[in-house]
Structure formats: structure tokens, C-alpha cells
């Protein structure tokens, strides 16, 4: 399995490789798999957080859904906090 290292260390990345996760050496407890690397069905989230809206392409339709959160850049909450808030953790 190949991982994309955000810290700038590790082997040189080839263009045609598929990376299954993202991690940074400065945060070893965090490893985020890409959605395509997960081979189990995931439940539909009860609420969504839309972010980086400032950088959306002009033709992108951003749905207005009651209860969803919208951020022009990054949200203040982490991925872990999002899961905890929605009671999606074990």
C-alpha cells in the first residue's frame, strides 16, 4: 500500500502511482484513507460539512441542505471532532 507523505520526506512520488492514504510525520496518530481505499459500505452521514467553497469551480452546484455546515476555507473542527459531534464513533 502506498501512502502520500505530506511532510516532504520519503521516496520521490511517481505520477502514475495510486495513493491510498494521506499522513504527516508530525501527526503520526492521524492517517486518513482515501475513500476509494475503503472496501466496506459506509453509512450515509446524517449531516455534511462543505468546505473550501472559495475555491469551487464556477459550475459546481453547492447544495443548500438544512443542518449542513458551510465554510469558505477550512472548518475549525477536525475530522475526528466531526465524527464525535455526529456520534459516528464506536
- Domain identity same for 83 and 72: yes
Please state the rounded mean pLDDT for residues 50-74.
Answer: 95
67 in the same domain as 51: yes
More confident residue, 36 or 67: 67
Grid cell, residue 14, equals 511517481
Please determine, for residue 38, whether its predicted confidence score (pLDDT) is greater than 90. no
**Residues 54, 86 within the same domain:** yes
Q: Is 31 helix (H, G, I), strand (E, B) or coil?
A: strand
Structural domain range at position 51: 43-90
Looking at the fold, whether 29 and 47 belong to one and the same domain comes out as no
- pTM of the predicted structure, to 2 decimals: 0.57
Beta strands (DSSP E) in 1-90 are 3-5, 21-23, 31-33, 49-50, 69-70
Amino acid at each position: 500500500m502506498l501512502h502520500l507523505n505530506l511532510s516532504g520526506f520519503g521516496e520521490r512520488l511517481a505520477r502514475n502511482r495510486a495513493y491510498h492514504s494521506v499522513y504527516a510525520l508530525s501527526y503520526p496518530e492521524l492517517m486518513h484513507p482515501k475513500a476509494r481505499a475503503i472496501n466496506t459500505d459506509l453509512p450515509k452521514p446524517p449531516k455534511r460539512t462543505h468546505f473550501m467553497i472559495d475555491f469551487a469551480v464556477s459550475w459546481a452546484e453547492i447544495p443548500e441542505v438544512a443542518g449542513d455546515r458551510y465554510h469558505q476555507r477550512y472548518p475549525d473542527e477536525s475530522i475526528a471532532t466531526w465524527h464525535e459531534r455526529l456520534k459516528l464513533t464506536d
